[in-house]
Amino acid sequence: MSHVAKLVTTNSFFDLSGQLRKELAGRREGFHEPATAGLAIAVFISLIIVVWAIYALIVHGASMPPWALVLGIVFMFVPPGPIVTLILVYATRGAQRSRSRSRSRSRCKSR
């Protein structure tokens, strides 16, 4: 009888596990996992760009024309602003120095 009891319990165990798998599969079909990993990566990259833009404004602010510095600060508060600020900073960072150098060179040549 113990052999028969083992057979019955083993068979019923596999039947129960099969039913449980079917039930869990049905629950998984209706379950949609939120895309939190992609959102977390996007927020992390955005924060890196914002910190980079602030750093670039601080470091290169002295060598930028005043209008570019003001626009860089204003663009920090516009949605695509930090990217525009980075472009503006790196496009105009040597503009003030190159103007002063060209003026001093022209003065030296005229003497």
Exposure string of 13-25, with b = 16+ CB inside 10 Å and e = fewer, is eeeeeeeeeeeee
Task: State pTM to two decimals.
Answer: 0.55
Do the Cβ atoms of 21 and 29 come closer than 8 Å?
no
pLDDT in tens, 23-62: 766 665 555 666 677 888 888 999 999 999 999 999 998 8
Of 16-25, 32-41, 87-96, the range with the lowest mean pLDDT is 16-25
Structural domain boundaries of the chain? 1-32, 34-110
